[in-house]
A and B are shown apart, each in its own frame.
Chain A
Amino acid sequence: MSPEALREIARNMVETVPQASALGFKLHSIEPSRGSILTPWREDLVGDPDTGVIAGGVITALLDHACGLATISMATDSKTPFSTATLDLRIDYMRAATPRADIIAEAHCYKLTRSVAFVRAHAYDGDPADPIATAQAAFILKRGPVA
């Protein structure tokens, strides 16, 4: 798939899916096997009103979406992309996100079989070496034309 075609599919997945657009996701980077998404801090997404820290649920959705993005980037042909569904997702929260900082989630699909993708991801808000959370996920692939 050409870089332009991949970028188009990726942008579509990150910015037009209703939940992704409701959370304000933006495509940050895309290449075969890797993708990253940026999401801005927002007051209505706060999970701890005492500190203004964004809800874990937002990080969960962000990491899940980034893992799905890395998975679809493995499609070799833009005419036969595949859709995916999360099979399992494990997230470790290392520290609270910094209030009012953008968060980036980067995902790497490190193994693809005929029907399953294995993906790792991490989320950070400044220094990539100081992650907010890391994730490990498996996705089931549904090959064939996506309606």
Chain B
Amino acid sequence: MSEAAERLETFLGRVPYVRFLGMHAKLAGDEMTATLPFAPHLVGNTVMPALHGGVLGAFMEMTALAQLSVISPPSSRVPKTIDIAIEYLRPGKAQVTYARADVRKVGRQIANVHVEAWQEARSKPVAFLRGHFLLRGA
């Protein structure tokens, strides 16, 4: 396993909330795809049924943090979220959701990250997230 993949596994394994969501992530080279399998406790609208908007937001935020863990020095602490803006384009259906994070800028203190989430096709995104994160050393 590469060092980057180890850092990702460490991050995913250490954060209890990652298990609550049930998400996981895989690295292909330097590209990470996060996966959120459908589970009944993620539903926000039982009539449709649809994923809770907060779940999609949380999944994308964790995707951003996971991507940052891949590029951070080993044993860094989890970055602190400063702000996030979420745009919802389609209802999240009762099925698997994927997300990818694009780290637009990493400065000394702050990272700017854009995340895109989709289900059947990447060309049909369900939601976007833009966020700023405060980076913290070991």
Contacts and interface: CB of A to CB of B under 8 A. Distances in A.
B15 A46 contact: yes
Given A90-B86, A92-B82, 11 more contacts: A17-B52, A18-B40, A20-B52, A45-B16, A49-B16, A55-B17, A61-B57, A65-B44, A88-B87, A89-B53, A91-B86
A22 B69 CA distance: 27
Nearest to B83: A92
19 contacts: A17-B43, A19-B43, A19-B44, A19-B54, A19-B55, A45-B16, A46-B15, A47-B17, A49-B14, A55-B62, A60-B57, A61-B57, A83-B45, A85-B50, A87-B88, A88-B86, A89-B57, A90-B86, A91-B85
Nearest to A68: B53
Interface string A42-80: 011111111000111110111111001000000000000
Interface stretch (B27-35, B73-81, B110-118): B73-81
Given A90-B83, A146-B47, A56 B58 contact: yes
Contact of B61 (A17, A20, A60): A60
A43 B16 contact: yes
Nearest to A50: B77
In the A-B complex, the 5 residue pairs with the smallest Cβ-Cβ separation, listed nearest first, are A57-B58, A61-B54, A55-B17, A19-B52, A22-B41
Contact of B57 (A20, A43, A45, A64): A64
A147 B17 contact: no
Interface of B: 14-17, 19-21, 40-47, 50-55, 57-59, 61-62, 77-78, 80-88, 91
Nearest to B43: A18
Contacts of A21: 41
